[in-house]
Amino acid sequence: MAKKALVTGILGQDGPYLAKLLLDKGYKVYGLMRRYSNPSFDNLDYLGITKQVEFVEGDMADESSLLHLIKAILPDEVYNLAAQSFVGGSWQQAKLTTEINSLGVLYMLNAVKLFSPTTRYYQASTSEMFGLGNDDGYQDENTNFHPRSPYGISKVYAYWMTVNFRESYGLFTANGILFNHESPLRGIQFVTRKITDGVARIKLGLADKLALGNLDARRDWGFAGDYVEAMHLMLQQDKGDDYVVGTGENHSVRDFAREAFKCVGISDFEKYIVIDARFKRPAEVPDLKAKATKINALGWKPKVTFPELVKMMVEADLKRLKK
Ligand code: NAP
Ligand code: GDP
């Protein structure tokens, strides 16, 4: 019989890539979505899999909906990707961010424990938990957490609750501590997609400036399509564990912009950029770089390089805007 996976965050960036991977492996995929009067299936359509996903309604902030779904589906695997995932918005919506990203995880783990304790549970943890990182210039599974935003803090709670359900009740749980990963499906508010969309607009004469905040922040950016493979791999091990996932290479926001403008033949890119204080954060995470040797030892490696990622995103935005 086909394995059953419940994927939350099915309409976001990672949900569709993961759903495609699981469908290709023969899983039956249930996709949890909130109730919308007018939902957008664009990201699933982009990968051509909308019709293959079985949608179920629920909300991470509504415990009863999660209890009901776990009891009804009895999934072999749960991938909890749902979140208020935008760091920049988390200061303005700190309570909502906490309810979805922290309490929602407690509700989901509890539902698994009560109704389907053999389910394997994946938690979408994040390098934002490291925040200030450490002096070694990279972060791994042993690096201390020093989150710098309500988002990062909400995810630290979720991380520890995921560990605690493993230690207290023997559930199979795994934290994927993923560094930033991007794609043509990335939300437009995130800096990579904002840049590739802005560059495409400038190239096509639809805009003449791109407003950004801190150009010096450095991130370890990879391709979302590669990272969902790591999520699946974690749940195929003998026991649940926690893994850092990243490329081991980082670049500044300025580097990303330079590379994106290069894709459309513009070298004097800084003349198109304006610094707007609205896009700076009350507390910044200056520098993230993964040391992913633990997941590498399981056979996972990123395939898409930084220049390939930027090119893929710029080309997708050019195509979309030309339409
Ligand atoms: P995303 O594009 O923002 O997708 C998040 C999804 O969560 C959206 O589809 C959203 O649904 C859903 N969601 C939000 N609140 C919900 C609620 N109350 N109930 C049910 N669903 C809800 O994020 P992503 O980039 O795919 O990231 C996936 C996960 O990985 C997130 O947990 C994120 O925090 C984490 N993460 C991401 C990165 C990264 O670089 N992308 C790095 C580390 C960790 P709507 O469509 O209804 O808004
Ligand atoms: P994050 O790493 O999850 O916060 O992902 P983002 O893509 O939102 O931000 C990555 C980095 O880019 C952060 O250090 C931001 O401060 C920086 N940044 C600079 N300008 C912007 C901007 O205009 N929008 C966003 N979202 N981030 C920006």
Q: For strands 54-57 and 172-178, give the pairing.
A: unpaired
For ligand 2, mutation pick of 14, 84, 86, 87 (most atoms within 8 Å of CB): 87
**Mind listing the pLDDT tens digit for each residue in 146-163?**
999 999 999 999 999 999
Nearest ligand, CA of residue 288? 2
pLDDT, position 12: 98
Between the CA of 82 and the centroid of ligand 1 the distance, in Å, is 4
Q: Catalytic positions, please?
A: 126, 128, 151
Name the strand (E) or helix (H) holding 4: strand 4-8
pLDDT, position 139: 97
**Nearest CA owner, ligand 2 atom 20:** 213
**Mind listing the pLDDT tens digit for each residue in 193-252?**
999 999 999 999 999 999 999 999 999 999 999 999 999 999 999 999 999 999 999 999
Flag whether pLDDT at 133 surpasses 80.
Answer: no
- Residue 284 CA to residue 57 CA, distance in Å, equals 35
Flag whether pLDDT at 178 surpasses 80.
Answer: yes
Angle between helices 191-203 and 306-322 (to 10 degrees): 50
Between the CA of 271 and the centroid of ligand 1 the distance, in Å, is 34
Q: What is the mean pLDDT of residues 124-129?
A: 98
Residue 58 DSSP label: -
**Mind listing the pLDDT tens digit for each residue in 62-72?**
999 999 999 99
CATH 2.140.10.10 assigned to domain 4-181+221-245? The reply is: no
Between the CA of 87 and the centroid of ligand 2 the distance, in Å, is 8
Which fold does the domain 188-219+250-286+305-322 belong to in CATH? UDP-galactose 4-epimerase; domain 1 (3.90.25)
**Nearest CA owner, ligand 1 atom 22:** 82
**What proportion of the chain, given as a percentage, has pLDDT over 90?**
98
On whether the CB atoms of residues 278 and 286 are closer than 8 A, the answer is no
pLDDT band at 260 (very low <50, low <70, confident <90, very high): very high
pLDDT band at 117 (very low <50, low <70, confident <90, very high): very high
The ligand 2 site (C-beta within 6 Å) comprises 87-88, 128, 180, 189-192, 194, 212-214, 217, 219, 253, 279, 281, 284-285
pLDDT band at 134 (very low <50, low <70, confident <90, very high): confident
Distances (CA, A) of 251 to 128, 154, 213: 16, 26, 16
Q: What is the mean pLDDT of residues 116-121?
A: 98
185 Cα nearest atom in ligand 1 = 2
pLDDT, position 135: 74
For the chain, give every domain's residue range.
4-181+221-245, 188-219+250-286+305-322
151 Cα nearest atom in ligand 1 = 34
| Cα–chain center distance at 43 | 14
Q: What is the overall mean pLDDT for the chain?
A: 97
Q: What is the mean pLDDT of residues 246-259?
A: 98
Between the CA of 16 and the centroid of ligand 1 the distance, in Å, is 11
Whole-model pTM over 0.95: yes
**Nearest CA owner, ligand 1 atom 30:** 124
